[in-house]
A and B are shown apart, each in its own frame.
Chain A
Amino acid sequence: MLAYVIRRIAYLVPVLLVLTIVVFTFVELLPGNIIDTLIGTEGNDDPEVRKILEKEYGLDQPIYVRYAKWLYRAVQGDFGNSLVTRRPVALELLSGIPATVYLAIVGISLSMLIAVPLGTIAAVRRNTPVDYTAQVSSLIGISIPEFWFAILCVLFFSLYLGWLPSSGYASPFDDFWGSLKFLILPAAAVGFRQAAYTTRLTRSSMLDEMNKEYVDTARSLGLSERKVIFKYTLRNAMIPTITISGLQLANLLGGTVVLESIFAWPGIGRAIFEAILQRDYPLVQAGVLVLGVIVVIMNLLVDLTYRYLNPRVKLG
């Protein structure tokens, strides 16, 4: 197991290299460069000044040297300054992380609360109306664009009924109950879509487990159906469900750009989106990189947990 862990960590290196190269190339491929932006604001396009500035920013060096220098600074958390606020990019991003994590965790938990019971019932009562309803509704769930679902929720609960605010955010640490009313709609929008995926997954892994021999053995020993399902099959079936939910949690950290901008949720996704609108590319670059790294690390953790929970999986 230890050798496997070490090898998996070693695998991270090339993956992170690809990630950083893509992100670095993105800024390189933008038309013009930082000098244009700087000169644009000062208003004097003098070739001499340009040369000095290029030297200062290291733009006279070949691309791989610049990449190495950028990487060296990025590893230390120095992503440069935001072109808009002039504050360090790392700070800007850091301030968005709590809101994003809060939304993603609540959304995923909500989806598990709905999906696990629903998927289990669908599997146990296979090919009955309950099963069909669960299947059809989860299929519809994954086909509805989340932004449309969000808009419909706002229309109904905020504009029509007036129960919940249509957008905004309050930190749960300042005012827990107050933050809940901002949280409900975005979390429902996140959870709804995830629940659709997780229901399908729970159902199929339950069916997988229920077809295994140990279930028959347990039944033949006279265990009640309830005990067979809750004590044995569900427990085993939860392994893939939890694994995938972990991966989706990672994905959600970067995947809530649309919902965060609809609900004015001050997370990292919205920060990146607004940076794109304001052409604040150092922030975009760093934001995408940070989210990518989070995803890679989460994937690793989920994978290791999965192996730990399910030792039968061959270490390959």
Chain B
Amino acid sequence: MTELEAPKLADLDEGRASAIARRLARYGITLSNAWYELRKSRTASIGLVMLVLLFGACLATPWIATQSPVKQNYRERLQPPSEQHLLGTDRMGRDIYSRLLWGGRRLVAIALLAVAFGLAIGIPYGVLSGYYGGAADTVAMRIVDGLLAFPGLLLYLLIVTLAREWKLEGIYNDLILVFALGFAFMPEVARLSRGSVLAEKQKEYVEASRAVGDGSLSIALRQILPNIISPLIVNATVRLGYVILIVAALSFLGLGTPPPTPDWGSDLSAARDYMETAPLIAAFPGLAICYTVLAFNLFGDGLRDILDPRLAER
């Protein structure tokens, strides 16, 4: 490095540092604006508080869980809530409180990954299909229609069954679940983003970018995409709740994670046999599912009102 170059480099670093600082400041402003907007909707604020508690519990699980979620203790089976076991114990003497925490952590992680995956494949699919139009668009949308024709749980059942037959275990089993849930979310995302692109395509700013000489792909992804993001955010939030219901239903049916792993759905299913003697065991995982899904639904509903003021009237 010659002496001539050194000051230049320092300049560059300084320039970069101030650029980063400016960007951070902008994020800060965006964030505080977002919070200000959020407080306008009571639903969204309640949902947000519930979500913060939920994510907090998920992140802090290793520290706030009091016992091992899988340690069995047959001398303390089906105990009512006590100081030692905050929510009591299940049929194998495992601590329900700790199982709920660990199960929730896994469930929320799966849901987040699945929805992210669905967005990651659905958005480019829909945006490109809507932007290019023509025969490619027709074919792409017929595929989406075909995938949407699977009612309820059936598409998941097929994929989960394949995972079972190939004897996928542990992390691979979770990954295939993420794949199935994300894949099933893709058609909806694709349709939604395609619709918004069709609407946006007519607008002047797209015309302007084209006049300046931007390529189609760059216009589709860099100009149009940021403008259609808000309905997608709302949809993804509500979908998170739905995904959690699906995962719980699959493991309730015994097609999710195999037993020793803490899981709200399969814990609930196991608790059915003790419903008469210890109804509380079946209550806690159910309440946990409700709380989580409700949190996402409230937040999504509120977001919709904020992001789409036309609907806020309702």
Would B253 and A273 count as touching, CB distance under 8 A?
yes
- Which residue of the partner chain B has the closest CB to A200? B301
The CB with the most chain A CB atoms within 10 A, among B151, B289, B314, is that of B151
CB pair B150 A288 closer than 8 Å: yes
Tell which of A23, A30, A204, A256 touches B162, judged by Cβ atoms closer than 8 Å. Answer: A30
The answer to whether A258 touches B253, judged by C-beta atoms less than 8 angstroms apart, is: yes
A-contacting residues, B101-146, CB 8 Å? 139, 142-143, 145-146
A38 on interface, CB distance cutoff 8 Å: no
A148 touches B151 (CB 8 A): no
Q: Answer whether A18 and B146 are a contact pair too, CB < 8 Å, given A155-B279, A207-B314, A251-B151.
A: yes
Contacts of A204 in B (CB 8 A): 314
**A218: CB under 8 A from chain B?**
no
Flag if B245 contacts A159 (CB, 8 Å).
Answer: no
Q: What chain A residues lie within 8 Å of B143 (beta carbons)?
A: 14, 18
Interface string of B133-171 (1 = CB under 8 A from A): 000000100110111011111110110011001100000
- Among A22, A143, A154, A276, point to the contact of B147 (Cβ < 8 A): A22
A140 touches B146 (CB 8 A): no
Q: Nearest B residue to A147 by beta-carbon distance?
A: B252
How far is B286's CA from A154's CA once the two chains are assembled, in angstroms?
A: 14
- Would you call A52 an interface residue if the criterion is a C-beta within 8 Å of the partner chain's C-beta atoms? no
Chain A interface size, under 10 / 10 to 19 / 20 to 34 / 35 or more: 35 or more
B252 touching A14, Cβ below 8 Å = no
- Complex Cα distance, B142 from A11, in Å, reads 8
**CB–CB B154/A272 < 8 A:** yes
Q: Check: A58 CB closer than 8 A to any chain B CB.
A: no
Measured in the bound complex, the distance between the Cα atoms of B155 and A197 in whole Å is 22
Residues 269-280 of chain A, each 1 if its beta carbon lies under 8 Å from chain B, else 0: 100110011010
B150 and chain A: residue at smallest CB distance: A292
User: In whole angstroms, how far apart are the Cα atoms of A97 and B283 in the complex?
Assistant: 33
Task: Enumerate chain B residues within 8 angstroms of A147, measured Cβ to Cβ.
Answer: 248-249, 252, 268
Q: Are A258 and B249 in contact (CB under 8 A)?
A: yes
Q: Is the CB of B161 within 8 A of A284?
A: yes
**B interface size (C-beta, 8 A):** 43
Q: Which residue of A lies closest to B147 (CB)?
A: A18
Tell me whether A151 is interfacial, beta carbon within 8 Å. yes
Chain A hits for B145, CB < 8 A:
11, 14-15, 18
Q: How far is the CA of A211 from the CA of B166 in the complex (A)?
A: 56
Residues of A within 8 A of B272 (CB): 151
Q: Please pick, from B146, B152, B255, the residue contacting A276 in the complex, using a CB distance under 8 A.
A: B255
Q: In the assembled complex, how far is the CB of residue A212 from the closest CB belonging to chain B, in whole angstroms?
A: 13
Q: How far does the alpha carbon of A45 sit from the alpha carbon of B286 in the complex, in Å?
A: 49
> Is B253 touching A292 in the complex (CB atoms < 8 A)?
no
Report Cα–Cα, A16/B301, bound state, in Å.
Answer: 34
Contact assessment for A19 and B248 in the assembled complex, using a CB-CB cutoff below 8 Å: no
A267 at the interface (CB under 8 A from B): no
Q: Verify B162–A26 contact, CB threshold 8 A.
A: yes
- Known interface pairs A143-B290, A159-B275, A295-B149. Does A288 touch B154 (Cβ–Cβ under 8 Å)? yes
> Does B83 count as interface, using CB distance less than 8 angstroms?
no
List, in ascending order, chain B residues with CB within 8 A of A250's CB: 151
Contact (Cβ within 8 A) A17 B146:
yes
Q: Which residues in window 1-48 of A have CB below 8 A to B?
A: 11, 14-19, 21-23, 26, 29-31
Inter-chain contact A292/B151, CB cutoff 8 Å: yes
Q: Which chain A positions have C-beta within 8 A of B150?
A: 19, 22, 254, 288, 291-292, 295
Once the chains bind, are B286 and A148 in contact (CB under 8 Å)?
A: yes
In the complex, what's the smallest C-beta–C-beta distance from B311 to chain A, in angstroms?
A: 8
Q: Is the CB of B149 within 8 A of A145?
A: no
Write out the residue numbers on chain A whose beta carbons fall within 8 Å of the beta carbon of B142: 11, 14-15, 18
Interchain nearest-CB distance for B176 vs A (Å) = 12
CB-defined contacts of A96 to chain B, threshold 8 Å: none
Interface residues in A260-309 (C-beta closer than 8 Å to B): 261, 269, 272-273, 276-277, 279, 284, 288, 291-292, 294-296, 299
A145 to chain B, nearest CB (A): 5
Residues on A close to B: CB < 8 A? Answer: 11, 14-19, 21-23, 26, 29-31, 139-140, 142-148, 151-152, 154-155, 159, 203-204, 207-208, 211, 250-258, 261, 269, 272-273, 276-277, 279, 284, 288, 291-292, 294-296, 299
Given A155-B282, A292-B154, 14 extra CB contacts under 8 A: A22-B146, A26-B161, A139-B298, A140-B294, A143-B241, A151-B286, A155-B276, A207-B313, A258-B153, A258-B253, A269-B152, A277-B254, A284-B161, A296-B149
**Can you list 11 pairs linking A and B with CB atoms under 8 Å apart?**
A11-B142, A15-B145, A18-B143, A19-B146, A26-B158, A139-B298, A251-B152, A255-B152, A273-B253, A288-B158, A296-B149
Shortest 4 CB-CB contacts between residues of A and residues of B: A18-B146, A255-B152, A254-B151, A14-B142
